[in-house]
Amino acid sequence: MQLMNAANESFEKVASYGLMPNMIIYLMSDYKMNVGNAQNLLYFWTAALNFLPILGAFLADSFAGRFLTIGIGSIISLSGMLVLWMTTVLPQAKPPPCDPSTNSCQSPTAGQYALLIAAFTLMSIGAGGVRTCSQAFGADQIDRRDNPKNKRVLESFFNWYYACGCLSVVIALTVIVYIQDHFGWRIGFGIPVVLMFLSSLSFLLASRLYVNVEVKNSLFLSLAHAIVAAFKNRKTSLSIQGSNVLYYQRRDSFPSVVPSDSLRFLNKACIIRDSEDIGPDGLARNPWTLCTVEDVEGLKSLLRIIPIWSSSIMMSVGFGSFPVLLAKTMDRHVGAKFEIPAASFGTFLVIVIVIWIPIYDRVLLPLASKICRRPVRLSVKLRMGIGLVFLFLSLLSAGIVEHVRRQRAVSEGFENNPQGVIHMSAMWTVPQYIFGGLAEAFNGIGQNEFYYSELPKNMSSIATSLSGLGFAVGSLIASLILNVVNDVTRKGGKEGWIASNVNRGRYDYYYWLLAILSFLNVVYYVFCSWVYGPLLEHKEVKEDELAMLRNTNGHEKEITT
């Protein structure tokens, strides 16, 4: 059942990721959009794909449950892909071909735009249901009792889940993209529809075999209680803390806990001011005026990680779909006959991730530990910082390669011919994907580990959604940067950096601008990391050492840090 569920999302990923790489070419060629408008639309689509899973998590945890959320999401996503495929079949769904004699093109009508946006909207809503719950729903199928064998099965499931996800992206960026390039949009968009249909059908047919976990109190509602209660009790004095103050906490809390001193103003939400605040059953009469210490501490943990989370937004501000346009002007042949599709070069990024993880975990760390004669491990904050440095190198190298490519295009007489192929191998773009893959391997995976380890265990659903939220915000910021650059560089009737004719634009300047912003982001991350202080795992180590000394000597000894 676990692998069947992983296969379900793998089909969805192959279908959705297979549509995305070449989409900018489809919008420019068939919908007659300029490069700026097409990229902006894709940025908004990416933002929706990454933001809606958070709403899906809220619905699944609070009302619908995971199975129903995945099932409805699969059907909606299938509907969106079907609508998009219809734009390749129905001539009225998009503008007619340009008139070659007059070189004039018609812009899309309002109805044609509406149909296209409806397809993107449905796919985004569907992905919000499928990607939100698939991993957690698969883990639900495993017996959670305290059994070492079950824990090993759970670990194996997460490994296979990640492997299936990577394999899905590779297939999407190679097979699906190749079909689109060589057999046209109708077949290239039709295959994802078939895959999504098989995904939805297999998931629904196995409904009786799945374990459905009962919906409990919403974590999002608990956080809302803490925020509202702190605001309503804002006039409560905190000067009496540490004396005989009573704090409201969960019944199963043992030993009794008190709120931490960080962000003390939130502690007002859990102070019992009157005995009437607690009902006969021991529960708060009004959770909007009194919440538990645990809810307050969960909210504090979430607020504390926001600065570091914000530094990772830059990970999704990068290239957009521009590398696809640039690669189409370069020689993409490997050997005499095989030509790599322009949209498939993103596969190098995924391959780097897949190769680097086992080398880092199984080769480099054991070798370093053997040389140093002690366990060697890079802290999660250090790995996240290293990832941001690799992101800077990726953007810097992309700018250098694009600068050389543009000079070659001008010197070969292709300045006014963006369809011409220059005498420069597209393999020169591979280093930027290698650096990008290392950035994702260090920062992307480090983000998930950081959120999961620093947030309370009952906030695991939020922890797994934060990186997606960062991608959503990053896509919106990328759209803002693109529009500002367009507006500034087009003043005075100039072509502008982001031109539809890539040989006349200055994409190298654009990449270097992003590289500068990325470097400043590294400095910002270092500051945020310093302000954050020690990780929770370091604090737990000290507490374990203290407990061990107590048990050994019968009294507490001072531990120097």
- Residue by residue, DSSP assigns 101-138 as TTTB-PPPPHHHHHHHHHHHHHHHHHHHHHHHHHHHHH
Q: Say how far apart CA 62 and CA 100 lie, in whole Å.
A: 57
User: Residue 474 in contact with residue 320, Cβ under 8 Å?
Assistant: no
Sorted by sequence, the CB contacts under 8 Å of residue 158 that are 6+ apart come out as: 135, 139
Residue found under tokens 């899906």: 56
How much is the mean pLDDT over the chain?
80
CA distance 8 to 66: 14
Distances (CA, A) of 19 to 11, 129, 193, 357: 13, 18, 10, 27
Q: Name which of 243, 164, 233 is nearest 199 in CA terms.
A: 164
Instruction: Give the pair of three-digit tokens for residue 506.
Output: 């200055």
Which tens digit of pLDDT belongs to each residue from 148-165? Answer: 445 445 445 554 566 567
Q: What does the block give as tokens for 150?
A: 């079950």
Stronger pLDDT, 130 or 223, i.e. the higher one: 223
Mean pLDDT across the stretch 345-356? 87
446 neighbors 380 (Cβ within 8 angstroms)? yes
Q: What is the pLDDT of residue 560?
A: 31
- In whole angstroms, what is the distance from residue 304 CA to residue 285 CA? 29
The percentage of the chain sitting over the pLDDT mark of 70, rounded to a whole number, equals 81
In tens, the pLDDT along 164-193 reads 677 788 888 888 888 988 889 999 999 989
Model confidence band, residue 512 (pLDDT cutoffs 50, 70, 90) = very high
| Gap between the Cα atoms of 501 and 3, Å rounded | 46
pLDDT for 525 equals 96
Q: What is residue 309's predicted lDDT score, i.e. its pLDDT? A: 94
User: Which residue type occupies 205?
Assistant: L
> Does position 511 have pLDDT exceeding 90, yes or no?
yes
Q: Is the C-alpha dihedral spanning 160, 162, 166, 172 positive or negative?
A: positive
Cβ atoms of 93 and 186 within 8 Å: the answer is no
Taking the C-alpha atoms of residue 131 and residue 121, their distance in angstroms, rounded to an integer, is 15
Q: Is the pLDDT of residue 39 over 80?
A: yes
380 to each of 28, 241, 299, 550, how far by Cα in Å?
41, 34, 22, 30
CB 38 within 8 A of CB 52: no
**Closest C-alpha among 480, 245, 242, 444 to residue 350:** 444
Cβ-based neighbours of 335, under 8 Å, separated by 6 or more: none
Closest CA to 400 of 366, 424, 416, 364: 424
Q: For residue 395, what is the enclosing H or E element?
A: helix 380-411
Q: How far apart are CA 94 and CA 106, in angstroms?
A: 10
Element (H, E) at 55: helix 35-59
pLDDT at 247 over 50: yes
How many Å apart are CA 43 and CA 200, to the nearest integer?
27
Pairing of strands 333-334, 338-339: antiparallel
Q: What is the dihedral of CA 13, 5, 219, 224, to 10 degrees?
A: 30
Q: Label residue 248 by pLDDT band (50, 70, 90).
A: confident
Whether 263 shows a pLDDT value over 90: the answer reads no
CA angle 353, 305, 313 (to 5 degrees): 50
Q: What is the pLDDT of residue 240?
A: 52
pLDDT reported for residue 80: 92
- Which position has the higher pLDDT, 549 or 95? 95
Name the band, by pLDDT with cuts 50, 70 and 90, for residue 550.
Answer: very low
Residue 292 burial (CB count, 10 A): 25
**Do the Cβ atoms of 123 and 78 come closer than 8 Å?**
no
pLDDT score for 341: 87
Task: Report the half-sphere exposure of 175 (CA within 13 A, side-chain side).
Answer: 11
Lowest mean pLDDT, pick from 161-170, 344-353, 414-423: 161-170
Please say whether the beta carbons of 44 and 116 come within 8 A: no
- Say if CB 271 and CB 245 are below 8 A apart: yes
Spatial separation of the C-alpha atoms in residues 453 and 266, rounded to whole Å: 22
**Residue 47 pLDDT > 70:** yes
pLDDT at residue 245 tops 60: yes
Predicted confidence at residue 256, as pLDDT, reads 63
Instruction: Say whether pLDDT at 472 is over 70.
Output: yes
Burial class (CB in 10 A: 0-12, 13-18, 19+), 118: middle
